[in-house]
Amino acid sequence: MMKNSAVNQQIYKVLCKGCNNILTRDEAISGKVIKLNNDLYHINCAKCSSCETTIGIRAAYPSSVGTFLCSECNLMANAPKCHACRKSTFEKCVSAFDVHWHQSCFKCRKCSRPFQRMEYIIHKGFAYDEDCYYQETLNILKDDEPIKE
């Protein structure tokens, strides 16, 4: 019979990164332990660093050192922001003037209505619908004309 060495006698304790309690073999076998970025967690201890919801078996995205975001918070944090309302642009968005806009936020400079069919004219660094562009430029021309006597 072989003697047990000191190494065989040593008990290895693996701690949950979330609660610092010991993770048991039974918990691991029964699927109650998950691994995120080389760290082990009880399935209920892995939480989104933004909204604090339990990540569980859903997708997790690394955020800052040692923290994670759930899918929703990751999308909020990384989606382009609308230039007008500053909210994330999840849906189809417009890219104009090197920034992003919700379609409903990208509006004519003069009348403030959203553009139909995303057709607009750029004048002096601003977007105008066709009618407002011509009204604006005709007013400028009228203002620039010499007074007739």
User: pTM higher than 0.75, yes or no?
Assistant: no
Structure-model confidence comparison of residues 141 and 128, the more confident one: 128
pLDDT of residue 38: 83
pLDDT of 26-67, one tens digit each?
888 888 998 888 888 898 888 888 888 888 777 888 877 678
**90 plus 105 within the same structural domain:** yes
Most confident of 3-7, 37-41, 138-142: 37-41
DSSP codes of every residue in 92-139 = -EEEETTEEEETTT-B-TTT-PBPGGG--EEETTEEE-HHHHHHHHHH
Domain around 110:
79-144
Domain boundary among 51, 77, 103: 77
Q: What was the pLDDT predicted at 8?
A: 47
Same structural domain, 58 and 87: no
Query: What would the pLDDT profile of 67-114 be if each residue is shown by its tens digit?
Result: 888 888 888 888 888 888 888 887 777 888 888 888 888 889 899 898
Query: Does any domain span residue 106?
Result: yes
Whether residue 94 sits in one domain with residue 110: yes
**CATH, residue 30:** 2.10.110.10
149 within a domain of the structure (yes/no): no
